[in-house]
Each structure stands twice: as C-alpha cells, then as structure tokens.
Amino acid sequence: MTAIIVVQKLLLAVIPNFQFSTILLILFFYVFGTKPMLLITLLYVIVDNLWLGTFHVIYTPVMFIAWSSLLLLLIPFKNKSINVWFLGLIGIIHVVMYSACFGITTALIHEIDVIAYVLADIPFTLILMVSNFLTIIWLFKPLYNVMSKYYKIIIGENDCK
C-alpha cells in the first residue's frame, strides 16, 4: 500500500499539488483500519523523504504529523456510515492542516516570513483542496467497493452512499 502511494505521487508530480495520497490513505483507513493506516503513513513518510532527499530531523516528523492529522480527522467517524461528501470535506480540512504544518515549519527552517509564505501558498493550497475534494467524491466509492470485495473484508454497516 505504501508503494502505491509513493509511485502515484511520483507519477503525478508533473501536475502541481495534485496527487491521490489523501484518498488512498482514507481508503486504507476504511478498509484496513487505524493501525495499518498509521503504519502505511509512517512508511510513506520515510520512503518519500529518503527518495526525495528531504529527510530532515525537523521536516520528516512534521510530515508524519501532517499526514497523521488525517487519521485524527477520521477516527471519530470510523463506525459511521461512509458518506463521500463528508469525506470530501475531510479532505479539504486535511489540506488546511497539512499546509499549516508545512507552511510554518518550512518558513522556520528556511528563515522566511511565515505570513508571506502562507499567503504565497494560498493558490497551491486551493488547488490541492479542490483536487482532494473531487478525487474523493468521484473515486472513493468505486475504489472502496473494489478493495473491500477483493480482500473479502467484512465491512459491516459502512456502505458508501
């Protein structure tokens, strides 16, 4: 699962602020559960940072915290009925949390004015918000249905609407 996230990120790197990482992590959370998703996230952060050469004593833990914030948004709704519109909203909220983590950290590491960095990042954050929302509402249900059937996981009441 980690390899899928890393490869899709590398393949889609030519499109600024567009990737399927968020939808895949949400999918893995609902199919595999909390602990596997946390492990997948940790491995993804380590591989991504080693591959890109961005492994840093401050940056790497912040990246793990930023991606784990998605888990914190999802846990309260684990046993609720899955609604793709709500998950799309979670994807938008996660972008804000993710961007805030990186904006502040990047500004501090590179000694850049935090407000200037955040303001300059607004267009890219908006692109990521829209792409997350659209990919989640369009692709979550079909991916979820395929994965849950393929792995023969008993999902219980969590049917996509």
Cβ atoms of 25 and 138 within 8 Å: the answer is no
Cβ atoms of 88 and 133 within 8 Å: the answer is yes
- Average pLDDT score over the chain: 87
pLDDT at residue 152, rounded to an integer:
59
In the chain, the percentage of residues whose pLDDT exceeds 70 is 93
- Does pLDDT of 155 surpass 60? no
C-alpha distances in Å from residue 45, one per residue of 8, 119, 146: 14, 26, 26
Question: At 7, which CATH number?
Answer: 1.10.1760
Cβ atoms of 112 and 106 within 8 Å: the answer is yes
Q: Establish if 161 belongs to a structural domain.
A: no
Higher pLDDT, 132 or 13: 132
- Does pLDDT of 125 surpass 50? yes
Rounded to two decimals, the pTM is 0.87
Q: Establish if 160 belongs to a structural domain.
A: no
Q: Establish if 126 belongs to a structural domain.
A: yes
The token pair at 158 is 């969590």
Question: Using CB atoms within 10 A of its CB, is residue 89 exposed (0-12), middle (13-18) or buried (19+)?
Answer: middle
Helices 2-11 and 34-52, packing angle to 10 deg: 40
Note down the domain range covering 17: 2-150
pLDDT at residue 139, rounded to an integer:
96
- Looking at the structure of the chain, the number of domains it has is 1
- Give residue-wise pLDDT tens across range 82-122: 899 999 999 999 999 998 888 888 888 888 888 888 889 89
